[in-house]
């Protein structure tokens, strides 16, 4: 039973429509729900956008998970010290604005955890038979399973699941960190020729292609969408060359923005939802059908003129704003609510582009990760975290657990020319269980850095079925994940991040050492033969283990490959 505080202030009791270890509640659209649980076995919390904060908070500053169509996913879990689920709460509707919170009720000394769920109707999508459900999972099982099951449950309310083309699941080269807003046609052609030889199959041309001149660091030149001649003298030739390398090509668009310095900002100045002075851009008001047609028309023109294979659609979460800050409903609009208009826009973009090319690629990124909006993309990337491999690992794990049916991508990897090959390998191993994106200048980096990349891409490509589709496990989120693994029918792949101890699984297994030690330790099991590899993939030792606990000299960044006897 939970208590419901409706918009009229009346408090009523609501009982589940399904009981047991998993309770399902049917919720009215608008209001706040509250219940309490015993303060026992509560050690940390987990939500899709909590990043490094797994703390257990008090009543005056609760853990929270905010969600709307263009931001977040409605899921919050409470875990014990071993990562076993205590309570996982999820909502069926990832379109409505909602907030889930948990906190310690220390003020009233009741030894309880307070849970609240707030749902805002907000005028969005008024289907006559639409219902919102809340799922409370109290099964005492690994949190990986309760979070994964909650993600699958949220997806079950979609009317269809989009297909993910194979190219969405292949190594990707990005122009962002290595060129920023100054991409150059001939330099990129050299980079991509080498990238293709290494095994990269997809390319994203990021910001800067659309304006002439130097890096500005903002978005005031977004909106007109014409290729800069000083950077790409012959853009059609460039696109054709990328395709000749056997690569697919996506191009970057920040969906909401018309920059203050663009002609289209002046053209649509009276049709902005609100301004973003921090980005030096206005946010286009997609409640106007004219604005949606303008946005989609720009994408279609790029595809028809140049044959691009996909879009990197950025800043969709910038549409999220306090409704009081958004321009009022006006004549000429065909949708009253901005959140709803964004949903309609994404439907129109997906339908329009896939009508031109069924395998069209769409890359989204955190923070727009709810089931409904993610069902409009086939590539979902960790949010920007240049050179921060731990944040990349954390973001990858969250996306893998909640959005398992989409091709999950790392943020683009970046390092300096003087970086050690080991630290390059550390970044790569932190994102092993996602599609790797690289944003370093391959033609300019030292030979040993290049060897690390070549070995990694070769290994990743050969093992991608296990890495992307094996049963995924991320251990100890409270410690930013001490290890991760993916296990298929005939092989398991593990990376140790903290604690150089592993338990052999009894099948073929690769165990990577990404700890601070130059060895790893087996807890013992059945006998096996093994090979030890360094970070370049070279075999440094071969041998046989009788299955007793044993220390193996696996160097940092290296791997032990196990074959059971």
Q: What are phi and psi of 16, to 5 degrees?
A: -70, 150
If asked whether residues 77 and 134 sit together in one domain, one would say yes
How high does pLDDT run on average in the chain? Answer: 95
Helix (H, G, I), strand (E, B) or coil at 284: strand
Q: Is the pLDDT of residue 129 over 70?
A: no
Split into its structural domains, the chain has a count of 3
Sorting pLDDT into bands at 50, 70 and 90, what band is 446?
very high
> Is 233 found in the same domain as 144?
no
Instruction: Note the pLDDT of residue 130.
Output: 66
CB burial of 242-276 (b: ≥16 within 10 Å; e: otherwise) equals: beebebbbbbbbbbbbbbbbbebbeebeebbbbeb
Q: What is the pLDDT of residues 8-19, one digit of tens each?
A: 677 888 888 888
Residue 230, pLDDT > 70, answer: yes
Helix axes 289-306, 338-356, angle to 10 degrees: 20
395 and 490 co-located in one domain: no
* pLDDT bracket for residue 346 (50, 70, 90): very high
Residue 521 has what pLDDT?
97
- Whether the CB-CB separation of 249 and 242 falls below 8 Å is answered with yes
Q: Are residues 489 and 461 in the same domain?
A: no
Domain limits for position 133: 2-155
Encode pLDDT of 270-311 as tens digits.
Answer: 999 999 999 999 999 999 999 999 999 999 999 999 999 999
Q: What is the domain-level CATH number for residue 402?
A: 3.20.20.70
Q: Is residue 274 part of a domain?
A: no
Query: Which of 469, 504, 529 is the last residue in one of the domains?
Result: 469
Read off the tokens for 482.
């001490």
Instruction: Report whether pLDDT(125) > 90.
Output: no
Lowest-pLDDT choice from 5-14, 351-360, 396-405: 5-14
Q: On the CB side of 144, how many CA atoms lie within 13 Å of its CA? A: 17
pLDDT tens for residues 89-102? Answer: 999 999 989 999 99
Looking at the structure, do residues 424 and 393 belong to the same domain, yes or no? Answer: yes
Is residue 504 included in any domain, yes or no?
Answer: yes
Statement to judge: residues 487 and 498 lie in one domain: yes
Confidence class for position 31, pLDDT limits 50, 70, 90 = confident
Question: What confidence tens digit (pLDDT) does each residue in 527-543 have?
Answer: 999 999 999 999 999 99
DSSP 43-104: -EEE-TT-TT-----BTTS-EEEEEBTTB--SEEEEE-TTSBEEEEEEES-SSSEEEEEEEE
Verify that 304 and 452 share a domain, yes or no.
Answer: yes
End-to-end C-alpha distance for the chain, whole angstroms:
54
Same domain, 63 and 78: yes
Could you tell me the CATH number of the domain that includes residue 515?
Answer: 2.60.40
Predicted local confidence at residue 5, as pLDDT: 78
User: Is the pLDDT assigned to residue 127 strictly greater than 90?
Assistant: no
Q: Per-residue pLDDT for 126 more than 60?
A: no
Dig out the tokens for 472 from the structure.
């995924």
What's the token pair of residue 315? Answer: 């800043």
Average pLDDT, integer, range 176-201? 97
430 shares its domain with 417: yes
Q: With bands split at pLDDT 50, 70 and 90, how would you rate the model's confidence at 480?
A: very high
Among residues 428, 454, 469, which one ends one of the domains?
Answer: 469
């Amino acid at each position: 039973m939970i208590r419901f505080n409706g918009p009229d202030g009346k408090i009523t009791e609501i009982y589940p429509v399904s009981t047991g270890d998993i309770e399902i509640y049917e919720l009215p659209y608008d209001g706040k729900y509250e219940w309490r649980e015993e303060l026992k076995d509560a050690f940390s919390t987990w939500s899709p956008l909590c990043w490094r904060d797994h703390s257990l908070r008090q009543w005056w500053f609760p853990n929270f998970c905010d969600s709307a169509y263009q931001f977040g996913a409605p899921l919050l879990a409470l875990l014990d010290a071993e990562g076993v689920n205590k309570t996982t709460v999820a909502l069926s509707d990832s379109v409505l604005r909602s907030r889930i919170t948990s906190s310690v009720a220390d003020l009233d000394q009741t030894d309880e955890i307070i849970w609240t769920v707030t749902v805002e109707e907000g005028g969005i999508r008024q289907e006559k038979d639409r219902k919102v459900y809340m799922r409370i999972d109290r099964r005492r099982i690994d949190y990986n399973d309760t979070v994964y099951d909650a993600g699958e449950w949220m997806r079950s309310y979609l009317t269809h699941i989009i297909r993910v083309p194979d190219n969405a699941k292949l190594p990707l080269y990005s122009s962002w960190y290595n060129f920023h807003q100054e991409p150059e046609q001939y330099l990129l052609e050299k980079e991509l020729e080498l990238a293709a030889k290494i095994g990269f199959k997809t390319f994203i041309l990021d910001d800067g292609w659309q304006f002439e001149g130097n890096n500005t660091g903002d978005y005031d030149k977004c909106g007109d969408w014409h290729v800069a001649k000083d950077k790409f003298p012959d853009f059609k030739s460039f696109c054709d060359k990328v395709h000749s390398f056997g690569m697919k090509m996506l191009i970057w668009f920040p969906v909401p923005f018309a920059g203050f310095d663009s002609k289209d900002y002046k053209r649509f100045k009276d049709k902005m939802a609100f301004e973003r002075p921090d980005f030096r851009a206005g946010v286009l008001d997609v409640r106007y059908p004219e604005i949606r047609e303008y946005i989609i028309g720009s994408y279609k023109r790029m595809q028809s003129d140049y044959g691009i294979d996909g879009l990197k659609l950025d800043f969709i979460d910038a549409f999220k704003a306090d409704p009081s800050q958004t321009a009022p409903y006006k004549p000429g609009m065909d949708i009253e609510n901005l959140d709803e208009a964004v949903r309609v826009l994404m439907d129109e973009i997906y339908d329009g582009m896939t009508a031109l090319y069924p395998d069209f690629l769409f890359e989204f990124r955190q923070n727009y990760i709810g089931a409904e909006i993610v069902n409009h993309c086939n590539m979902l990337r960790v949010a920007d975290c240049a050179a921060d491999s731990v944040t990349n690992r954390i973001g990858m794990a969250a996306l893998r657990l909640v959005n398992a049916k989409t091709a999950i991508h790392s943020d683009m990897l970046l390092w300096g020319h003087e970086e050690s090959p080991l630290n390059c390998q550390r970044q790569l191993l932190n994102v092993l269980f996602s599609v790797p994106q690289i944003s370093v200048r391959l033609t300019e980096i030292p030979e040993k850095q290049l060897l690390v990349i070549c070995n990694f891409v070769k290994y990743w490509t050969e093992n991608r079925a296990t890495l992307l589709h094996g049963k995924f496990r991320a251990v100890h989120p409270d410690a930013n994940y001490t290890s991760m693994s993916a296990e298929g029918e005939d092989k398991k792949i593990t990376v140790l991040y903290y604690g150089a101890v592993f338990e052999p699984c009894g099948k073929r297994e690769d165990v990577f050492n990404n700890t601070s030690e130059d060895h790893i330790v087996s807890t013992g099991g059945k006998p096996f033969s093994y090979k030890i590899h360094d970070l370049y993939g070279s075999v440094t030792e071969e041998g046989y283990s009788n299955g007793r606990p044993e220390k193996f000299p696996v160097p940092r960044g290296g791997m032990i490959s196990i074959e059971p006897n």
